[in-house]
Amino acid sequence: MPEMVLLGDEAVAMGALHAGISAAYAYPGTPSTEITEFLIQNSKKNNGPSAHWCANEKTAYEAALGVSFAGRRSLVSMKHVGLNVAADPFMNSAIVSIHGGLVLVVADDPGMHSSQNEQDSRYFADFARIVCLEPTNQQEAYEMAREAFDISERFHIPVMIRLVTRLAHSRSVVQLSEPRTENKLEKAPEPNSWILLPSNARNQWHGLLDTYKEMQQYSEESSFNPLTLNSTFTDYAVITTGLAKNYYLENVPDLNEQPSHLHISAYPFPAEKIRSLASSAKKILILEEGYPFVERFLRGILPNGMEIIGKESGEVPAEGELNPDNIRPALGLESRTGSPHPDMPLSNRPPQLCPGCPHADSFNALKMALSGYGKSMVTSDIGCYTLAALPPYSAIETTVNMGASIGMAKGASDAGYFPAVAVIGDSTFLHSGVSPLIDAVAHNTNMTLVILDNETTGMTGGQPTILPSSRLEKVVLGIGVEPEHVKLIEAHRKFDEENSKVIKQEIEYNGLSVIIAVRECVETAKRHKREGGQS
Amino acid sequence: MKYDVILAGVGGQGVLSVSAIIASSAMEEGLQVKQSEVHGMSQRGGAVYTNLRLSDETIYSDLIPIGGASLVLSMEPLESLRYLDYLNPEGQLITSSNPERNIDDYPDLDTLIGKINTLPHAQVIDARKLALEAGSGRAANMVLAGAASNYVPLKSETMEGYIRKIFQRKGDKVVETNLKAFQLGRENSK
Ligand code: SF4
């Protein structure tokens, strides 16, 4: 059997390819980006299946739905907070009768390595009443991706695969199996199951609730939820989910006794198996990567008097990632020791804008422009420029979610704040900044928007922006920003003085202005040079 | 056999490429390998590291436990001290002496190197100097890979074979420079 060394992300992508997908969609976001990077490379090399970056996660999801409606298999991937953007098509896609298999990969980021929160996507799967699979290693990532498509077509639901950063970005050998061919192009047989008028939707929801029982049965029988009972040791039993299993197994050699163990990687979780595990021991220890998802349910379903140890009881850390060490206290094991530290404080080394970054110059000009006002507000967004929150720039004051900078500056201005400035990157603007800008146009809000156009999606490694930089101005004009208040500047320090004047002038204008500060990201520029000038 | 390595450095220094040399060579020698990487925000000039685990048995955790690493290999002196919790008290620390000063409060270099040298099994290598001697300052990472080759449970020929493979398309001269750098790293560490 052939084998490959793959990142967790790439293993999912490979699994999807071998499951016969016809298309894949995504918006880049750490730690999910490498899934689609891999599929795009593959598509170039092998002439398909098509793999595209989209304007945002919602549009990506909708495209995947279209593939399913046409009878073929599709993969849509995103980071956890991306699913908030795609929540509308996601929740409703559970109600339609999925035709060609549709698999959603969501990469969560416990520990917030590169994200603004650590929300656990299993709640979304539960909310939508669908199956979620959670691999613990690269091999499972490959196999589960394949199986997810079969489950999707069997139950006519989208299936979620939940990854976490440590698996997404860890590399290991994966054994591959025989690829499957693509589905026939054949529209969904009953269009009513895709027209969610209330009368149809009620039928569909009823059907989903019936199917949910079958999903529960699937989960009871699935080998993805292995239960091993040890009747000779009843002090406590262990439930693991996700990567917690690896950290647990890492510690098992140090335990005197082998507790009974249930690992859950297919949801809805197997209630019967949990009950048999519970009847085998006096206490249950629950180790979960993410929120105490299973734990909170169990506190409701286990017999009274059964002691449950986990995040809710405080023995397992409730924030951040699990690791082989922070679960040891819950297992009653001593902590391990490493090497001694020399007595010297270690300076932190936070990430920072690259030397020569165009954003640095834009922020200089912006700060100069704002220096004359006693007060100012700069709302910001998500991208490399978020790093301008740190010294020496300390130039921005908010980062909440994709696109929020513009709506927030509008709100602050409506509330009477002046001067209100929003900054947003080109890719984030096209992702979800256009709609709030339309709101600002509609009310000619007194605010200034600076689009930091580095001509790429910089933070995630330089994916092309969905529209070329040259089109940005037309987009802004097209939605009705007054042409005399749309200004293009070159984000370069040699123009700091001039640029700050332009910004100041537009701040002074009592209405909406948009300044597009253009210069290519230096990292992307370097890469383009290496690749011989093509973009 | 189990051998865990933490590779440390600053985003952009090529931590992943050194990690790949060891990981690929280990696979070629039939070992199981897990390599946990840092992508995203920290790659912009922040502290980065990989957890590289080699074993002839199943490896469960992608992360190295406290005290589990046999080697910390650092592209940069300050970063070499960041992961000591993970280094086994008997383990080796190998670091380049060449600082990456992209922060304002970078410590005094002599004090820093002095502190590293107080650790029981530490070696500080002037990777840039040896790389220049080999023909290119850009081969500093190969010097460190060479130094590591004295410790990792792999044949140096396997690692050299991999280096040859990755630099092949850049021509014989580049291959020779990198192999020379590897060799110098190997000779200049104990
Ligand atoms: S990757 Fe590009 S946009 Fe991001 S900090 Fe570096 S130069 Fe700036």
Cβ of B81 within 8 Å of Cβ of A341? The answer is yes
Q: Where are the alpha helices (DSSP H) in A94-164?
A: 122-128, 138-155
Q: What is the mean pLDDT of residues B66-86?
A: 97
Instruction: Confirm or reject: Cβ of A522 under 6 Å from ligand 1.
Output: yes
Give the domains, in start order, of chain B with CATH numbers.
Answer: 2-187 (3.40.920.10)
- Residue environment code for A31-51, b if the CB has 16+ CB neighbours within 10 A, otherwise e: bbbbbbbbbbebbeeeeebbb
Q: What is the pLDDT of residues A183-219, one digit of tens each?
A: 999 988 887 898 888 888 889 999 999 999 999 999 9
Nearest by Cα to A89 from A61, A64, A49: A61
Q: Do domains A227-331 and A358-528 have the same CATH topology?
A: yes
| C-beta of A525 in contact with ligand 1 (< 6 A) | no
For ligand 1, whether the C-beta of A357 sits within 6 Å is: yes
**Taking CB atoms and an 8 Å limit, are A349 and B102 in contact across chains?**
yes
Average pLDDT over residues A449-453: 98
Q: Is the CB of B45 under 6 A from ligand 1?
A: no
Nearest CA in chain A to B68: A338
CA angle A64, A68, A72 (to 5 degrees): 110
Ligand 1 atom nearest the C-alpha of A384 is: 4
Query: pLDDT digits over A28-80, tens only?
Result: 999 999 999 999 999 999 998 999 998 899 999 998 998 999 999 999 999 99
Element (H, E) at B187: helix B172-187
B171 Cβ under 8 Å from any chain A Cβ = no
Q: What CA–CA distance (Å, rounded) separates A509 from A355? A: 33
Give dist(CA A302, CA A275) in Å, integer.
7
Q: What residues does each domain of chain A span?
A: 3-221, 227-331, 358-528
**Positive or negative CA dihedral for B151, B157, B160, B165?**
negative
Q: What is the pLDDT of residues B2-47, one digit of tens each?
A: 999 999 999 989 999 999 999 999 999 999 999 999 887 778 889 9
How confident is the model over A475-504, as a mean pLDDT? Answer: 97
* A146 C-beta closer than 6 A to ligand 1: no
Smallest CA separation from ligand 1 atom 8, residue: A357
Q: Do B84 and A460 touch (CB under 8 A)?
A: no
With CB atoms and an 8 Å threshold, state whether B88 touches A338. Answer: yes
Report whether A101 contacts A142 (CB < 8 A).
no
Q: Do B116 and A342 touch (CB under 8 A)?
A: yes
Nearest beta carbon to residue B46 from set A343, A351, A384: A351
Using DSSP's 3-state secondary structure scheme, residue A184 falls into coil
A325 CB neighbours in chain B (<8 A) are 65-66
In ligand 1, the atom with minimum distance to the C-alpha of A359 is 8
Which among A307, A257, A311 has a CA at the least distance from the CA of A288? Answer: A311
What ipTM was assigned to the predicted interfaces of this complex? 0.88
Show the tokens assigned to B103. Answer: 């922060």
> How far is the alpha carbon of A247 from chain B, nearest alpha carbon, in Å?
5
Torsional class of A309: left (φ above 0), alpha (ψ -120 to 50), beta (otherwise): beta
Quote the CA–CA distance of B68 and B86 in Å, as a whole number. 6
Nearest ligand 1 atom, CA A462: 1
| Among A166, A342, A344, beta carbon nearest to B36 | A166
**Both tokens of residue A327?**
């679960």
Higher pLDDT pick, A415 / B93: B93
Tens digit of each residue's pLDDT (9 = 90 or more) over A469-480: 989 999 999 999
Q: Do B86 and A338 touch (CB under 8 A)?
A: yes
Give percent above pLDDT 90 in chain A.
83
Could you tell me how many residues make up chain A?
A: 535
For position A319, what pLDDT does the model report?
A: 83
Residues 6+ apart with CB under 8 A from A472: A426, A429, A451, A453, A516
CATH code reported for the domain at A3-221? 3.40.50.970
The amino acid that residue A316 corresponds to is: V
Is the Cβ atom of A425 under 6 angstroms away from ligand 1? Answer: no
Work out the minimum CA distance from B38 to partner chain A, whole angstroms: 7
Ligand 1, atom 5: closest residue by C-alpha = A353
Q: Is the peptide bond before A303 cis (omega within 30 degrees of 0)?
A: no
Positions of E strands within A252-320: 261-264, 266-267, 283-288, 307-309
What's the pTM value of the predicted model, to 2 decimals?
A: 0.82
Q: How confident is the model at residue A530 (pLDDT cuts 50, 70, 90)?
A: confident
Cβ(A481) – ligand 1 distance below 6 Å: no
Model confidence band, residue A535 (pLDDT cutoffs 50, 70, 90) = very low
Is A383 a pocket residue for ligand 1 (Cβ < 6 Å)? no
3-state secondary structure of A431: helix
Residue whose CA is at the smallest distance from ligand 1 atom 7: A357
Is A388's pLDDT higher than 50? yes
Contact residues, chain B, for A351 at CB < 8 Å? 11, 41-46
Question: Which residues in chain A are closer than 8 Å to B31, comparing Cβ atoms?
Answer: none
Among A183, A172, A167, which Cα is nearest to A105's? A167
pLDDT at A45: 96
CA A257, CA A237: separation in Å to the nearest integer?
11
Rounded mean pLDDT, A133-143: 98
Q: Give the list of residues 6+ apart from residue A218 with CB closer than 8 angstroms, or none.
A: A131, A151, A155, A266
B125 CA to centre of ligand 1 in angstroms: 31
With beta carbons under 8 A apart, name residues in chain A contacting B86. Answer: 338
Q: B124 falls in which pLDDT band (50, 70, 90)?
A: very high
Is residue A18 helix, strand or coil? helix
Ligand 1 atom nearest A356 alpha carbon: 7
- Output the CA A482–ligand 1 centroid distance in Å: 30
| CA A466 / ligand 1 centre spacing (Å) | 18
How far is A353 from chain B, CA to nearest CA, in Å?
6
Q: Give dist(CA A168, CA A180) in Å, integer.
A: 24
Q: Cβ(A397)–Cβ(A378) under 8 Å?
A: yes
Chain-chain contact of B111 with A344 (C-beta, under 8 angstroms) = yes
Q: Which atom of ligand 1 is nearest to the CA of A521?
A: 2
User: Which residues are registered as beta bridge partners of A422?
Assistant: A379, A449
Strands A266-267 and A132-133, by their bridges, are antiparallel
Are B34 and A172 an interchain contact pair (Cβ–Cβ within 8 Å)? yes
| Average pLDDT of every residue of chain A | 94
Q: Which of the following CATH numbers is that of domain A227-331: 3.40.50.300, 3.30.70.100, 1.20.58.100, 3.40.50.920?
A: 3.40.50.920
From A30, A33, A357, mutation site for ligand 1 pocket: most ligand atoms within 8 A of C-beta: A357
Q: What is the pLDDT of residue B41?
A: 78
* Mean pLDDT estimate for chain B: 95
- Residue bearing the CA closest to ligand 1, atom 1: A458
Question: Mind listing the pLDDT tens digit for each residue in A229-279?
Answer: 999 999 999 999 999 999 999 999 999 999 999 999 999 999 999 999 999
Residue at B79: amino acid letter: E
Residue A303 CA: distances (Å) to CA of A273, A283, A294, A299, A347: 14, 11, 15, 9, 51
- For residue A210, how far is its CA from the centre of ligand 1 (angstroms)? 50
Confidence of residue A534 (pLDDT cuts 50, 70, 90): very low
Residue of B nearest to A390 (CA): B103
Contact A349 B46 (CB under 8 A): yes
The fold of the A358-528 domain, in CATH, is: Rossmann fold (3.40.50)
Closest-CA residue to A142 (of A114, A109, A86, A103): A103
* Residue A293 · residue A241 · CB < 8 Å: yes
Residues from chain B contacting residue A169 (CB–CB below 8 Å)? 36-39
Torsion angles phi and psi, residue B55, rounded to 5: -165, 160
Question: Which structure tokens are listed for A334?
Answer: 């001593």
Candidate from A451, A519, A523, A526 with most ligand 1 atoms within 8 A of CB, to mutate: A523
Alpha-carbon gap, residue A8 to A1, rounded angstroms: 19
**CA-CA distance, A61 to A65, in Å (whole number)?**
6
**Cβ–Cβ gap B42/A351 under 8 Å:** yes
Question: Which of B138, B140, B82, B85 is CA-nearest to residue B112?
Answer: B82
Confidence of residue A444 (pLDDT cuts 50, 70, 90): very high
State the Rg of chain A over Cα.
26
Q: Does B119 contact A at CB distance below 8 Å?
A: yes
Write down the pLDDT at residue A17: 98
Please identify among residues 2-61 of chain B the ones whose CB lies closer than 8 Å to any CB of chain A. 10-11, 23-24, 27, 32-47, 59-61
Sort A446 into a burial class: Cβ within 10 Å, 0-12 / 13-18 / 19+. buried
Inform me whether the C-beta atom of residue B84 falls under 8 Å from chain A C-beta atoms: yes
